[in-house]
Amino acid sequence: MLQSLLAAPGKIAIARTDTPEPRKGELLVKVRAALTCGTDLKAYLRGHPAIPVPGPFGHEFSGTVAARGAGVKGFAEGDDIMAVHSAPCLRCGYCKRGLHNLCENIMESKVLGAFAEYIVLPPHVVKQNVYHKPPSLGFEEAALLEPLSCVVHGMKPLDIRKGDSALVIGSGPIGLLHTMLLKDKGAMVAVSDPHRGRLRVARDVGADITAGPDSILRAVKKLTGGAGFYYVFECTGRPEVWEQGASYLRRGGTLVLFGGCPWGTTVTYDTYRLHYDELTLKGVFHFTPSDVKTAYEILKRRRLPTGKLISGSYPLGKIRTAFKRLEKGRGIKYAIIP
């Protein structure tokens, strides 16, 4: 089979390798669509601690079952499926407390290598996080199951009500998914990003107001009367934006810190506001099987305009072109079609 390898930062190679045989409990999936994401782009540009280099990469995908290992139930050869690349071990202390996203083994046992003709899903993923793809949902949108699961996880504990105001900082794929889900919940949404093209997409998916970084305060005044937002979602992973986000909250508001900052960075907050305005700062990481199920139902019912995230598609041999375009800030997500 053909497989894309991240050989070094800025260098992608296409290699021919043996097509794997699924072992007990595994599924061999013929990849029908694999999507680029922000983590892939970071790895391509400068490396990433969660993506070994050199090695296979890509983790947002959908496809067709090509073969199944012994003992697999519920899936047969030829079934179209959608899945995520990880699942909890269900044995560690965090799993036993129901904190499945914080599983001690979830990152070590994740699956990479979706930018290839085939990918093998291990038993713990097959048992927990693989679903049949409905015919009404295309393979490209079905591959959004993983990022949407992450967004669902961050919003699940929030009591977002119809008419609540929210600010999304960052209009990349994750910020746009936040915008869609917030609008689905009936919120009034402002989106901030320095790139006009991405703000146009934000408006296309339902944002009520869009603003550059220098005009967020005008958006605060226009959408909230100057009181501040009930919710702010930080989707850039920049420490300075983590700090700024709290300043846009109203009393009792919540800042959701979705974007991951570089290792070792620190931020500072106004203790007076945190205490007397009872602000909540919430870190968000990964997802649980329950989040995946919720995201699956959302995609299955076609509740969100997720197709607007796909900026184009390329065959596996042109994957370098997709990442070159992303490096130049062109497009949101690209589908790699092996």
Distance CA 333, CA 174 (A): 10
d(CA 121, CA 113): 10
CA separation for the pair 333, 176 (Å, rounded) = 11
Per-residue model confidence (pLDDT) at position 48: 81
H/E element, 182: helix 173-184
> Are 26 and 121 a contacting pair, CB within 8 Å?
yes
pLDDT given for residue 168 in this prediction: 98
CA separation for the pair 324, 154 (Å, rounded):
30
pLDDT score at 319: 97
What are the domain boundaries of the chain?
Answer: 2-143+305-337, 150-283
Distance, C-alpha 179 to centroid of its chain = 13
pLDDT in the model for residue 53:
83
Q: What homologous superfamily does CATH list for 150-283?
A: NAD(P)-binding Rossmann-like Domain (3.40.50.720)
Q: Give the pLDDT confidence score for residue 245 in this predicted structure.
A: 97
Amino acid 46: pLDDT: 86
**Residue corresponding to tokens 């085939």:** 118
pLDDT at residue 312, as a whole number:
97
| pTM, rounded to two decimals | 0.96
Supply the pLDDT for residue 51. Answer: 85
Task: Copy the structure tokens of residue 325.
Answer: 């375009």
pLDDT in tens, the chain (338 residues): 999 999 999 999 999 999 999 999 999 999 999 999 988 998 898 888 778 889 999 999 999 999 999 999 999 999 999 999 999 999 999 999 999 999 999 999 999 999 999 999 999 999 999 999 999 999 999 999 999 999 999 999 999 999 999 999 999 999 999 999 999 999 999 999 999 999 999 999 999 999 999 999 988 999 999 999 999 999 999 999 999 999 999 999 999 999 999 889 999 999 999 999 999 999 999 999 999 999 999 999 999 999 999 999 999 999 999 999 999 999 999 999 99
Fold category of 2-143+305-337 in CATH: Quinone Oxidoreductase; Chain A, domain 1 (3.90.180)
Beta pairing partners, 48:
51
